[in-house]
């Protein structure tokens, strides 16, 4: 978990400017969008309203995705968009925030669809370690001696995934770019490098899903450009 301040003005300005002009991605401008399978998915949409809509009184969606970090304010209530609880359906909530009009629908709209389990299969304890015990055959803990803790420098390790704000890498970075994105850092994010990728993928997905949202009587945040 990384504690950082709000998105830098440069990154936010870059994000909004690129969304306004389509982001330069495959789903950015023009009247149609083509899926990865080559099929036409309909009229392209402007996702600027998705990124500029308020999640809280002081934070917009754009503030949540650039830089890709999980922000935590200890003085504020816990849970989306302030950190995450173990029981939070974080992917459902994040997808609602980037696809739906939050003035019409709550960020918990997708989470309320009766497909998710009603709770963890094993109750979560209120105290440390907070995680429920493992199911099945478990290894009996040792006596606590003989542990060797590695002291290698951070440079000795290779990052295989970014565990920042949930669902950003999953929903807004296409497969071909995921390794490069995981190799970067929040410091790179705030330069605006990944803004075109986020914008293009969000535009393409919003366009492809627009008829599904209408069929479910959901108001999407993306608008016809």
Model confidence pLDDT, tens digit, residues 103-131: 999 999 998 888 777 778 888 888 888 88
- Residue 142 counted as domain residue: no
- Residue 64 counted as domain residue: yes
pLDDT at res. 143: 66
How far is 196 from 205, CA to CA, in rounded Å? Answer: 14
- Residue 120 counted as domain residue: no
Contact 222, 100 (CB under 8 A): no
- Give the count of alpha carbons within 13 A of 64, CB side only: 28
- Residue 38 counted as domain residue: yes
Query: What does the angle CA 3 – CA 11 – CA 197 come to, to the nearest 5 degrees?
Result: 100
Contact 43, 144 (CB under 8 A): no
- In this prediction, residues 33-47 reach a mean pLDDT of 54
Q: What b/e string do you get for 69-102 counting C-beta neighbours within 10 Å, with b at 16 or more?
A: bbbeeeeeeeebbbbbeeebbbebbbbbbbbbbb
**Could you tell me which residues come within 8 angstroms of residue 206 by beta carbon, excluding any fewer than 6 positions away?**
45, 47, 50, 99, 220, 221, 222
Q: Count other Cβ atoms within 10 Å, centred on residue 191.
A: 15
Total domain count, the chain: 1
Confidence of residue 189 (pLDDT cuts 50, 70, 90): very high
pLDDT in tens, 130-183: 888 877 776 666 666 777 888 999 889 888 888 888 788 888 999 899 999 999
- Residue 175 counted as domain residue: yes
pLDDT in tens, 54-83: 988 888 999 989 999 988 888 888 888 888
- Residue 149 counted as domain residue: no
What range does the domain containing 205 cover?
Answer: 9-114+159-224
What angle do the packed helices 9-20 and 195-215 form, to 10 degrees? 50
- Residue 147 counted as domain residue: no
- Residue 206 counted as domain residue: yes
pLDDT at res. 36: 38
pLDDT at res. 160: 81
């Amino acid at each position: 978990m990384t504690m950082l301040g709000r998105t830098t003005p440069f990154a936010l300005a870059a994000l909004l400017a690129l969304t306004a002009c389509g982001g330069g991605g495959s789903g950015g401008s023009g009247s149609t969008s083509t899926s990865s399978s080559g099929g036409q998915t309909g009229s392209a949409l402007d996702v600027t309203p998705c990124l500029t809509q308020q999640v809280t009184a002081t934070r917009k969606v754009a503030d949540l995705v650039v830089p890709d970090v999980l922000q935590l304010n200890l003085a504020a209530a816990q849970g989306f968009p302030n950190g995450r609880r173990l029981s939070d359906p974080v992917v459902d909530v994040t997808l609602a925030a980037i696809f739906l009009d939050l003035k019409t629908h709550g960020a918990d709209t997708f989470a309320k669809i009766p497909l998710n389990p009603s709770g963890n299969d094993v109750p979560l304890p209120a105290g440390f370690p907070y995680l429920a015990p493992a199911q099945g055959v478990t290894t009996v803990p040792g006596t606590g001696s003989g542990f060797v803790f590695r002291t290698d420098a951070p440079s000795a390790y290779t990052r295989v995934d970014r565990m920042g704000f949930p669902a950003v890498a999953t929903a807004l970075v296409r497969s071909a770019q995921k390794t490069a994105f995981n190799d970067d850092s929040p410091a790179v994010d705030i330069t605006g490098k990944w803004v075109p990728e986020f914008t293009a993928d969000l535009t393409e997905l919003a366009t492809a899903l627009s008829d599904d949202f209408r069929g479910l009587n959901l108001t999407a945040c993306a608008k016809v450009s």
